[in-house]
Amino acid sequence: MVGGLKCNPYMLGCPIRSLRKNMAFTIDASFISTLVNVLYIGTFVAFFLYGQRFQLAFMQRGIKGQVSKLDRMQLAARTRLVDSLKKFSGNSVKPIDNSVDRLLGSFVISPVSMDPSGIVPKMEHILDSADENLKGEIRRIAPQASEPEIQTLSNVAEIAIGLNNMFKVVRHFYILGSKPGGTYSLVQLQMLMPQLMEAADAYSSAMNAFVNGQTLGDGFGPLVASELVGSIGGSTGIWTETVKDTEVAKLDYQNHVTYVIKAKGPGGNIGKPGQAIQQLMKQDPSIKYVLTVDAALKLEGEETGSLAEGVGAAIGGPGVERFRIEETASSNQIEMLALVAKMSEKEAITEIPKSVKDRVPSTVERIRSIISGLPEGTSIIIAGIGNTMGVA
């Protein structure tokens, strides 16, 4: 106050300390504004010069965590395999561990495809040899296991081998991408990791189902075939092993000869349905229809267990059995029909979902109606495609 009046710093006679205080406030605001601008520009320049390195660092960190998760999955699968083999082996722990390590490192080389003519028989021979080699190794490690148990243990070993190979491939590209000039390998791996981890999670979850001998989602086809024979054939529906690991039952339903095919259970087996269908077509010229029943991967948004009908051979795998069915059907002008139950990859190789299992009776009724509508004097083959784990 000057003379009882409020002091204006721009008036003469105002104390110097008030003017200094206002100048200090102005200087502080300008300094903060300048500091913010410098930080903003500095951050922009840093990201412009080193942004790719920051992005790669975060990318490497994320992929490293997923690689570690894959490592834990494959180690857990190996442990489950060793524990399962110990139940049927009188050997010490060390030989089992050494045999399992050798088993996990096994591989199958595809036949040369430069000349595609005759590649299917070569592929079939290699796959059969690989299957017999795996089962022979399992028999040697677990001599006390029965044949169905050998089938189940082979499936468990295939899961462990698959997870081990997946881990080694992902680790290879991760290490390759971490080296100088490996940016594109790292980017490609990051784009594929969601699908790879989803597949690895499905394989890992399938271990419990295979170890405990539970029916799989992929067993929908064999379940339908078994239920069909039981409902139509009754006591006369007798399964006969006509082809290795493949059973056929001959039924008579409404004056139509009906052949039902499935793999031999209750061990984990897929059989050779294509070879069995070829054999039946040569024996019975009245066969005019082939109906395959299988599980199919659903699209996102589709309901698990929903049934779809179509035309063609509904059978997955490497294509050998599908080739046999298509070749024989086309040369004999036989109509190919298909019924599939939709499910995810994880649901297909783990315990069968209730919604899929509940679809079996309605599928059997649908097959009955298809047979009833056939022309007089024609025969039909019903092939339940899939893994017979837990299906007798």
Per-residue pLDDT tens digits for 199-230: 899 888 888 888 888 899 999 999 999 999 98
Report whether pLDDT(166) > 60.
Answer: yes
Helix (H, G, I), strand (E, B) or coil at 340: strand
Residue 163, class by beta-carbon neighbours within 10 Å (0-12 exposed, 13-18 middle, 19+ buried)? Answer: buried
Q: Give the span between the Cα atoms of 67 and 20, in whole angstroms.
A: 63
221 and 131 within one domain: no
Q: What is the pLDDT of residue 50?
A: 64
193 and 254 within one domain: no
Number of domains comprising the chain: 2
The tokens describing 100, both together, are 């399992």
* CATH number of domain containing 243: 3.40.50.1470
- Residue 217 near residue 296, CB atoms below 8 Å: no
Task: Spell out the residues 6+ positions from residue 99 whose beta carbon is closer than 8 angstroms to its own.
Answer: 137, 140, 141
- One-letter amino acid for residue 347 of the chain: E
In this structure, what is the dihedral angle of CA atoms 329, 331, 332, 335, given to the nearest 10 degrees?
40
Provide the domain limits for residue 316: 217-384
Residue 290 counted as domain residue: yes
Residue 20 counted as domain residue: no
250 and 165 within one domain: no
Q: Give the span between the Cα atoms of 278 and 270, in whole angstroms.
A: 17
306 and 249 within one domain: yes
197 and 286 within one domain: no
223 and 87 within one domain: no
Residue 19 counted as domain residue: no
Q: What is the CA radius of gyration of the chain?
A: 33
Residue percentage of the chain with pLDDT more than 70 = 87
- Poorest-confidence range of 51-55, 75-79, 207-211, 314-318? 51-55
End position of a domain, from candidates 187, 211, 235 = 211
341 and 282 within one domain: yes
280 and 151 within one domain: no
Q: What is the pLDDT of residue 24?
A: 52
End position of a domain, from candidates 168, 194, 211 = 211
Residue 19 — pLDDT band, cuts 50, 70, 90?
very low
Residue 265 counted as domain residue: yes
> pTM for the full model?
0.80
Q: Strands, E, within 315-378: which ranges?
A: 335-343
Residue 235 counted as domain residue: yes
Residue 26 counted as domain residue: no
* Interstrand relation of 256-263 and 379-384 (parallel, antiparallel or unpaired): parallel
Report whether pLDDT(348) > 50.
Answer: yes
Report whether pLDDT(21) > 70.
Answer: no
End position of a domain, from candidates 211, 231, 263 = 211
126 and 65 within one domain: yes
Residue 29 counted as domain residue: no
First to last CA, the chain: 105
192 and 85 within one domain: yes
375 and 236 within one domain: yes
Beta-bridge mates of residue 252: 257
200 and 324 within one domain: no
